[in-house]
């Protein structure tokens, strides 16, 4: 019986029988960019489900070192936000058909730059966010085009975004959180580049898009440990952590694994796999914790008026 997600930091545990019953990965090759949190958990789940090869990519060797060694696991140190990063990934993939891609890398090198007001944010920090979450994802997909095209059945790429990209809302406004407009702009650009790839690369792969919600990650760990607790995002994360009101990487990885392997082609590419949709479609059945995001949507600081 599967032990994946049996003991989780939020006090929850996944349904072992349901994990065991998930579609297997036999004969499939997987590429994951960013393995600190969700990506790392997904890599381990894919290996448990019999993946032929999992190529795990991260800019930090320490994130790769946390992954248990496995005969079918290839660890690649590369920064997707640089010109050389996608080339390094393509070289590691070689001629291997890639059936599934998780574009999980979302944190820039300088995470402190994400919560900087536009009156003082630096060009370097803006470029850092765009390089990681927009250009990096585009050029990784471009670099592995032949690997995607050679996959059978058709390859599936899943892109992690954030609710900052959503808009406009019914009243015509956008989710602009004070001090987070730069981060929101990068997330909005990520969504637009995703839609562009879905159109321009439609002969290469199917493209799905989703929000991880309040999942423990490099981003949330930075909020909880390095930000001033008066900062609205840091305060929210700290409060949620104290109440164990969050999803673990294992929970979110299991839901995204289900989306990648169990949905029809049309459902996979339609709309946003946000926290509520993901939970009600797959998470609840798997035993994923019902957190505030599931009950009332993503709880973010109020937008500027």
CB-CB neighbours of 108 under 10 Å: 24
CA–CA separation, 85 vs 8, rounded Å?
33
* The pLDDT of residue 252: 96
Q: Which residue has the higher pLDDT, 41 or 188?
A: 41
User: At 195, is the pLDDT very low, low, confident or very high (cuts 50, 70, 90)?
Assistant: very high
Average confidence (pLDDT) over 87-97? 98
The DSSP symbol for 160 reads E
Q: Which pLDDT does position 255 carry in this prediction?
A: 98
pTM check: above 0.75:
yes
What does the pLDDT read at residue 269? 97
Angle, to 10 degrees, between the axis of helix 181-200 and the axis of helix 123-130? 30
Lowest mean pLDDT among 48-52, 165-169, 179-183, 203-207: 165-169
Tokens of 290: 């019902």
H helices then E strands: how many in the chain?
15, 6
**Residues near 178 by beta carbon (within 8 Å), at least 6 away in sequence:** 117, 232, 301, 304
What is the chain's length? Answer: 305
Most confidently modeled of 36-40, 182-186, 210-214? Answer: 36-40
Counting Cβ atoms within 10 Å, is residue 96 exposed (0-12), middle (13-18) or buried (19+)? Answer: middle
- pLDDT above 70 covers a percentage of the chain that reads 90
Sorted by where each begins, the domain ranges of the chain are 16-215+249-286
Q: What CA–CA distances, in Å, run from 139 to 97, 99, 270? A: 17, 18, 23
| CA dist., res. 288 & res. 277, Å (int) | 13
Confidence (pLDDT) at 184:
85
- Considering the four listed CATH numbers 3.90.1300.10, 3.40.50.300, 3.40.50.10320, 3.40.50.720, the one that applies to the domain covering 16-215+249-286 is 3.40.50.720
> Does the pLDDT at position 113 exceed 90?
no
As a whole number of Å, the CA-based R_g of the chain is: 18
């Amino acid at each position: 019986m599967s032990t994946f997600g049996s003991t989780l930091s939020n006090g929850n545990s996944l349904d072992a029988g349901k994990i065991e019953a998930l579609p297997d990965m036999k004969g499939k090759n997987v590429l994951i960019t960013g393995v600190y949190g969700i990506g790392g958990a997904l890599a381990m789940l894919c290996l448990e489900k019999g993946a032929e090869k999992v190529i795990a990519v991260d800019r930090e060797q320490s994130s790769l070192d946390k992954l248990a060694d496995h005969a079918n696991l290839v660890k690649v140190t590369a920064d997707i936000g640089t010109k050389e990063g996608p080339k390094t990934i393509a070289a590691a993939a070689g001629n291997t058909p890639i059936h599934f891609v998780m574009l999980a890398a979302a944190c820039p090198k300088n995470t402190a730059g994400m919560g900087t007001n536009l009156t003082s944010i630096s060009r370097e920090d803006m470029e850092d966010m765009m390089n990681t979450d927009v250009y990096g994802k585009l050029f990784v997909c471009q670099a592995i085009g032949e690997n995607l095209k050679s996959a059978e059945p058709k390859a599936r790429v899943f892109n992690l975004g954030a609710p900052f990209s959503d808009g406009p809302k019914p009243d015509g406004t956008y989710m602009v959180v004070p001090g987070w407009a730069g981060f929101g702009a990068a997330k909005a650009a990520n969504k637009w580049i995703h839609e562009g790839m879905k159109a321009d690369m439609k002969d290469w792969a199917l493209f799905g898009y989703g929000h991880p919600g309040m999942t423990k990650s490099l981003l949330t760990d930075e909020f909880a440990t390095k930000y001033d607790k008066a900062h609205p995002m840091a305060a929210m994360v700290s409060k949620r952590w104290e109440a164990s009101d969050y999803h673990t990487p294992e929970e979110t990885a299991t839901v995204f694994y289900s989306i990648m392997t169990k949905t029809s082609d049309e459902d996979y590419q339609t709309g946003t796999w946000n926290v509520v949709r993901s939970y009600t479609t797959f998470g609840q059945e798997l035993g994923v914790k019902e957190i505030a995001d599931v009950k009332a949507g993503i709880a973010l600081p109020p937008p500027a008026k």
